[in-house]
Structure formats: structure tokens, C-alpha cells
Amino acid sequence: MNPLSSLAAALLAVSLVGGAPAQAQSPTDKYPDHPIKLVVGYAPGGGNDIAARLIAKELTEILGQSIVVENRPGAGTNIGASYVARSAPDGYTLSLSSTALAVNVSLYPKLDYDPVKDFAPVAIFAKAPNLLIVSNKLPVSSVKELVAYAKKNPGKLNFSSAGSGSTQQLAAELFKTKAGITAMHVPYKGSAPSLNAVIGGEADFTFVNIPSSKQLVDSGQVKALAITADKRFPAVPNVPTMEEAGIPGMDVATWYSILAPAGTPPAIINKLNAAVNQAVERPAFRKVLEDMGTAPMTATPEYFQKFLAEEIVRWREIVRQSNASVG
């Protein structure tokens, strides 16, 4: 063989061998190669925490790496959201976000993050309407009776929520406005302690999503008077809608989603989105979501981005109508 040809062949072989490891070491190609943190802005035990742990289990199986749920409650989920927004955009710190992400921009005068600019939408995987839950110690069994009791006893009732500015508070404030009643707001750090207050009679009523409350309703520890949806829900078929109960315009739902810090590579976003959608399409997981009182859904990152922008506008109007504040 010609010496020059031999040299050229050798150089080509070296370049191919040398180039292969560099390509294999691409961060997006090997993602994920260590555990992923999924941050929840609420305390353990509530609907967001339940949703996070359920999806984390599925994603752990699909992605082959542990998805570790970390609770960072407080300030209406702003503490957890801010933490994720400032994390490295490498796909290893994610946010299990809900409707609060769209609500808080209208409630808090100053946020240290932007819900649109500081996050990269990954996927939205379920929606859950709220139930109007009342304490067994309250002598009412319908929305009509609750309204009548509140008007007969002005200033006596209070209601709990998962925190100031939560969708639970907004639903209750909107209900008060539409029903023409008064009740004092008592915020807690999450749905679980809020529900415990109703069970114990410390709070008279609350609005809370079905995943957090269905077991308590089924066991008779609390009473469900109505659901904030436009039609009855399969998980609680005997519970009337707010409109059926005489209070129209109360279609208030919580949605569960996953976001990453802005700047996360598109390849990682797409891989995570595909994994979430794959999880939702699993029959067993889909049934779990339905049985706990949510409507499973799949979506692209682009759809979720558009949906989030629309939700911010919609909740701005609900905040205005409800006269809610975080003071």
C-alpha cells in the first residue's frame, strides 16, 4: 500500500475512534445518569404530594433512575417554585406544579420568579376538580343548608385552605361572593392539615381536590356537598355540581404538571415529556389516576406552554371576582 494512503487511513481511524467517546458523553444522550429531584410546594399528604409520588414511581421505572420527591412547602408554593427556577437547567431538578403557578402571579405583588420565563414546561398529566367539604359537626347536608346556616349565623363560620392564595382559598372566596355569605379564612401549609382541621371541627368547611379527600368522604369522616366541575365526576357520582346545588360559575379545577428550569435542553424536555405521556398511557396508572378522582391527560410541551398562558389570564379574572388576598 502507498505510504501516504496508509497514513491517511490511520489518521481516519484515529479520528473516528477519538470522536466516538465525545459523542457518547453528550449530557442529553446519557440523561438521566443519576437520580432526579421532583420538588413539591406543599406538605406531604395532600393532592400535589400524592400526584408527585405516583408519577415519580412511574418515571423511575420508565427512565431507569430514581425520582426523589422533595417537599418544600410555604408561601403558596412560591418557596418550592423559586427553588426550582434557580436550579441548574440540567433536568435533575424538576417541579411538580399545579394551578398555583398560574394563580400566584395575580395574587402576590412581588414574585422572585416569572411563571412563564423562568420555567420550561414539560408535561401536564391530570386535572382534578375540588369538592366542597364540611365538618360533620356542622348541622348541614347540602349547599343550600350551608348558605342558610351562614346567613343565620353571620361571622360564625370559618374555612380552611392549603395556604393563602391556594386554589382552595380562591374557590371558597368565590363561593362566599356568589352565595352572599361571610366566613373567616384559616390557611394551612397543605391540603392534609387543612382537611384535618375540618375533621377535628377546627374549621367548618373547605374546598379541596378529590385525591386529597375522597377516602375521607367515603369513610364518612367529612361530608362532600358539591363539586366544582361542569358535570358530575365518576369518582364521586353522587356529589352534585355547584351549579346543580344552586351556585353557578364555580368550575374551579386543579391540574398537575411537571416543569424544568428555563434553559433546560430541548432534548431533555422531550425525553421527559415522552416518559410522562408513556406513564399516563399505562392502563394501571391511568386507572389509579381515575380512581383517585382526576382526569388523566397527555400533552406536548408546546400545548402545556399555551395552556399555562391561558390559565394565567383565566385565574386573574377569578382572583378579581373572588376578592381574594394573601394578606
Local confidence band at 10 (pLDDT 50, 70, 90 cut-offs): very low
CA atoms within 13 Å, Cβ hemisphere of 225 = 25
Q: How confident is the model at residue 20 (pLDDT cuts 50, 70, 90)?
A: very low
- 7-11, 61-65, 188-192, range with the lowest pLDDT: 7-11
The more confidently predicted of residues 212 and 85 is 85
The CA distance from 275 to 62, in Å, is 6
pLDDT for residue 237? 93
CA distances from 206 to 31, 158, 285, 301 (A): 42, 9, 28, 33
The Cα 60–Cα 280 span in angstroms is: 14
Tens digits of residue pLDDT in 76-118: 889 999 999 999 999 999 999 999 999 999 988 889 999 999 9
Reported confidence tier of residue 153, pLDDT bands at 50, 70, 90? very high
Position 2 scores a pLDDT of 52
Residues in CB range of 56: below 8 A, 6 or more apart: 38, 67, 68, 69
- The pLDDT of residue 27 is 65
Cα(234)–Cα(86) distance, integer angstroms: 39
Cell triple for 78 = 412560591
Q: Where is average pLDDT lowest: 110-119, 218-227, 315-324?
A: 315-324
Residue with cell 346567613: 151
* CA 146, 151, 152, 155 torsion-angle sign: positive
pLDDT surpasses 70 at 19: no
Going by the DSSP 8-state scheme, the letter that residue 241 receives in this structure is B
For 46-80, how does the pLDDT look when each residue is reduced to its tens digit (9 = 90+)?
889 999 999 999 999 999 999 999 999 988 889 99
Q: Which domains does the chain have, with CATH numbers?
A: 36-128+254-322 (3.40.190.150), 130-245 (3.40.190.10)
* 17 band by pLDDT with thresholds 50, 70 and 90: very low
The grid coordinates of residue 28 equal: 442529553
DSSP 8-state assignment for residue 9? H
